[in-house]
């Protein structure tokens, strides 16, 4: 995959900054339509080549690395009259040059390769650092967001310098590259400027919550956007505080990180979600969606040694990728698409790598395999890999960002590699936010900048987590945490069905059941529940397949289930104060999925007096024939006080229930577990029956016919007798021995099906006839 992506760039795009994989040509700034801020990373300095240099060494492509270094020294210029993003140029180009220098120096010292190398990449890095320094010429010390590589910021020819705001991550993601440059070059000015910017952000934190905002004024330090999270706009500020401690050994960075981390876990982390809050009023969430950049955070939590929330959030993200193929650029708390783009971001692969290294759980190898397969299936094109314009349609976008080569292939290759397959010890290095490699030995190569006087924390917070001590060969540790979140998005268990054989005798269809619904070893069984309509005119003949919850009353322990009449909740989502509490009291509530978590809805409805809740899916057209059942889970808080029964219906089944409520003033239902014994319907009027995942339609009449079979998409196999009519005599019922049973053990037509049915009717013109 790397050869295809890198080879396409070198063949079709180099020396341009990026490859346009659909057009099979390079993207040159000024020659293509302007894309706004996205183009600020393009500086006419062969961006993708520089960003990829140390990836070549990680993948043991040493000949290609040596050739790429020679090309860089020969072809790349850094004095172009171009306005670039300070943040992007720092992490991609300066970081790329430093990572490549680190690798070249390592190979040279081994005496095997690069004997001709004389620190030329470091000299280029120093030149670029000097071209970025003018951005720090502000009254606050926070850098301008953009700089002209040739003319700086305040020069009349610079075409920049008018900005007043920058993002927190933009100002706070300089310390690794600038400190490394200072330690390697011996010039302290770079580290001092990056450190000063971090000092300003620290001083400007909200003292009550210890959170920072997203956008800050670079001149006076006032916050412009006060929403606080761990995704876009803030993400790598937190990352660089933690990693600055690892790289530089300065306790100040760790103390600041730990202070922020406690605030994040108190206000922003709502496992498995990470929600933006207002920095001055952190109990208030400011939006109901998350952006994909927060996918790096589980990896950062692994570095800190906080595995449980890392596993929880990563599992949530994995479930989103299973639903949408990739992480959408933004998605709601109900895991619907908010922004559909996916520019081949690597953060989810990054966290997957860290979690595998921390736990040794092969589950994360399978997650990595799914990333590989989806990239090859949905992003690979003849001239590279193309970003996905919308995960809902699969349409491509003509871009392949440099970070795809810099990060994605590093993390995937390291995920699947053993340490002895690498050319060097990866533990001697730390990854920048662009996955460039910097040696941790830098902490001893030169004294750090003067430290600040801060309160010392306990010794444990200074200890790197020892996975061999905490989790010795215990992959099941992660599984016990993941299991609570694996059905978050409604994607259920896998199943495998073996063939079904048929025997036809004297006009009677006998189906010999040899089909099995099985689950993989990784997935747990979901016991289906039922919602049975028992009031007239239904009289128990309409039965809907429902999913269970992991909290609330356990219906499997209720001998007779829970009975009640149904009332529609107002508001229907139950995400605000309940307006019809008097009507709900003593009844079973109907509530729509969406806008808030199941547990929050259940709390409100129980407080309103409901004796049970039936949640109905908000996704139009969903049904249990196409989507396996899943278990509803809590929101990370306590659910022990929820004592009422809770079940979930897909929208097609739910529509039948709401339709019944509209047609009849009173609808009584019974919520109960599915019969555990094999059952099937009998009766001269025909009927429907489900037995171990097999649905059989038995029409009336006495003509022979043929059975046509088809493969269901969900865990149920459905077979329809389409020709002729068959009569089963009463004595044959007794011989066959088991019929569908109602709770009262009365033999009657029944349907334990995957789609809801009205009372059986066999008129050709009856709209209620199930096809």
Burial of 421 (0-12, 13-18, 19+ CB in 10 A): exposed
- Catalytic member of 66, 239, 334, 347: 347
Orientation of helix 347-359 relative to helix 307-324, angle to 10°: 130
Q: How far is CA 450 from CA 199, 327, 354, 422, 459, in A?
A: 12, 42, 32, 37, 22
- Number of Cβ within 10 Å of residue 514's Cβ equals 10
- Catalytic member of 51, 255, 312, 329: 329
Using alpha carbons, select from 709, 736, 760, 274 the residue that is nearest to residue 500.
709
**Residue 235 annotated as catalytic:** yes
- Catalytic member of 39, 88, 255, 407: 88
Query: Are residues 563 and 670 in contact, defined by beta-carbon separation less than 8 angstroms?
Result: yes
- The response to whether 433 counts as a known ligand-binding position is yes
- Number of Cβ within 10 Å of residue 760's Cβ equals 24
Write the DSSP string, 121-164.
HHHHHHHHHHHHGGGG-SSSSPPPSEEETTTBTTSTTSS-----
**Residue 191 annotated as catalytic:** no
Strand order from edge to edge, sheet including 562-568: 542-546, 529-533, 668-673, 562-568, 588-592, 612-616, 646-649
* DSSP state at residue 632: B
**Residue 347 annotated as catalytic:** yes
Q: How far is CA 166 from the centre of its chain?
A: 27
- Catalytic member of 17, 177, 235, 401: 235
Alpha-carbon gap, residue 698 to 578, rounded angstroms: 45
Query: Are residues 531 and 660 in contact, defined by beta-carbon separation less than 8 angstroms?
Result: no
Alpha-carbon gap, residue 515 to 364, rounded angstroms: 31
- Locate 469 and state its tokens: 């001590």
Please report which helix (H) or strand (E) contains residue 166, including its range: strand 165-167
Cα pseudo-dihedral 622, 627, 628, 629, rounded to 10: -20
Alpha-carbon gap, residue 565 to 114, rounded angstroms: 79
**Residue 81 annotated as catalytic:** no
Instruction: Provide the annotated binding site for Ca(2+).
Output: 433
Residues that are catalytic: 88, 235, 329, 347
């Amino acid at each position: 995959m790397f050869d295809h992506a890198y080879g396409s760039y070198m063949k079709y795009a180099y020396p341009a900054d990026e490859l346009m994989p659909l057009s099979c040509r390079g993207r040159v700034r000024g020659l293509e339509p302007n894309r706004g801020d996205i183009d600020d990373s393009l500086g006419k300095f062969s961006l993708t080549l520089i960003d990829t240099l140390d990836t070549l060494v990680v993948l043991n492509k040493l000949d290609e690395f040596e050739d790429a270094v020679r090309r860089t020294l020969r072809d790349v210029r850094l004095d172009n009259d171009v306005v670039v993003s300070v943040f992007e140029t720092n992490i991609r180009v300066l970081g790329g040059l430093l990572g490549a220098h680190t690798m070249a120096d390592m190979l040279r010292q081994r005496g095997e390769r690069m004997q001709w190398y004389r620190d030329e990449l470091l000299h280029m890095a120093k030149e670029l650092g000097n071209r970025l320094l003018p951005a720090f010429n502000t009254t606050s010390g926070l850098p301008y967001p953009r700089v002209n590589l040739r003319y700086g910021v305040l020069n009349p020819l610079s075409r920049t310098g008018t900005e007043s705001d920058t993002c927190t991550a933009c100002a706070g993601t300089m310390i690794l590259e600038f400190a490394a440059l200072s330690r390697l070059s011996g010039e302290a000015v770079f580290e001092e400027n990056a450190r000063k910017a971090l000092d300003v952000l620290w001083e400007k934190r909200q003292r009550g919550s210890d959170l920072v905002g997203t956008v800050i004024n670079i001149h006076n330090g006032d916050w412009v956007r006060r929403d606080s999270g761990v995704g876009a706009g803030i993400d790598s500020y937190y990352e660089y505080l933690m990693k600055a401690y690892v790289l530089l050994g300065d306790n100040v960075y760790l103390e600041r990180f730990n202070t922020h981390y406690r605030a994040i876990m108190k206000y922003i982390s709502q496992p498995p979600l990470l929600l933006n809050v207002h920095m001055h009023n952190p109990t208030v969430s400011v939006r109901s969606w998350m952006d994909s950049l927060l996918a790096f955070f589980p990896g950062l939590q692994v570095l800190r040694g906080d595995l449980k929330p890392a596993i929880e959030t990563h599992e949530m993200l994995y479930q989103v990728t299973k639903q949408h193929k990739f992480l959408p650029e933004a998605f709601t708390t109900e895991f619907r698409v908010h922004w559909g783009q996916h520019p081949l971001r690597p953060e989810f692969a990054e966290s997957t790598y860290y979690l595998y290294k921390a736990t040794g759980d092969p589950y994360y190898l399978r997650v990595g395999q799914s990333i590989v397969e989806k990239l090859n299936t949905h992003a690979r094109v003849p001239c590279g890999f193309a970003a996905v314009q919308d995960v809902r349609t699969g349409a491509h976008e003509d871009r392949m960002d440099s970070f795809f080569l810099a990060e994605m292939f590093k993390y995937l290759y390291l995920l699947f590699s053993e340490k002895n397959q690498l050319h060097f010890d990866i533990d001697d290095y730390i990854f920048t936010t662009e996955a460039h490699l910097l040696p941790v030995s830098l902490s001893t190569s030169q004294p750090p900048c003067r430290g600040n006087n801060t309160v010392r924390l306990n010794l444990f917070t200074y200890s790197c987590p020892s996975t061999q001590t905490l989790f010795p060969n215990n992959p099941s540790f992660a599984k016990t945490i993941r299991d609570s979140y694996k059905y978050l998005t409604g994607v259920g268990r896998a199943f495998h069905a073996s063939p079904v054989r048929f025997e036809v005798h004297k006009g009677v269809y006998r189906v010999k059941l040899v089909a099995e619904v099985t689950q993989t070893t990784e997935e747990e069984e979901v016991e289906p529940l039922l919602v049975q309509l028992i009031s007239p005119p239904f009289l128990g003949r309409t039965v809907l397949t429902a999913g269970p919850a992991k909290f609330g009353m356990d219906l499997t322990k209720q001998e007779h289930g829970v009975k009640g009449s149904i009332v529609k909740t107002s508001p229907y989502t139950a995400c605000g104060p309940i307006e019809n509490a008097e009507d709900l009291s003593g009844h079973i509530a109907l509530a729509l999925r969406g806008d808030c978590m199941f547990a929050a809805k259940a709390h409100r409805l129980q407080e309103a007096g409901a004796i049970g809740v039936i949640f109905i899916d908000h996704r139009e057209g969903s049904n249990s024939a196409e989507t396996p059942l899943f278990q509803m889970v809590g929101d990370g808080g306590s659910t022990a006080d929820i004592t009422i029964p809770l079940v979930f219906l897909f929208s097609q089944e739910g529509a039948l229930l709401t339709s019944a409520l509209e047609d009849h003033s009173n609808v009584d239902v019974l919520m109960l577990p599915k019969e555990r014994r094999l059952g099937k319907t009998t009766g001269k009027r025909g009927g429907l029956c489900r037995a171990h995942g097999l649905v059989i339609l038995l029409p009336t009449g006495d003509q022979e016919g043929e059975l046509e079979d088809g493969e269901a998409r969900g865990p149920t196999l459905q077979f329809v007798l389409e020709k002729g009519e068959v009569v089963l005599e009463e004595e044959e019922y007794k011989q066959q021995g088991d019929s569908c049973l109602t709770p009262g053990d009365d033999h009657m037509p029944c349907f334990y099906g995957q789609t809801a049915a009205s009372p059986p009717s066999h008129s050709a013109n009856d709209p209620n006839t199930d096809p």
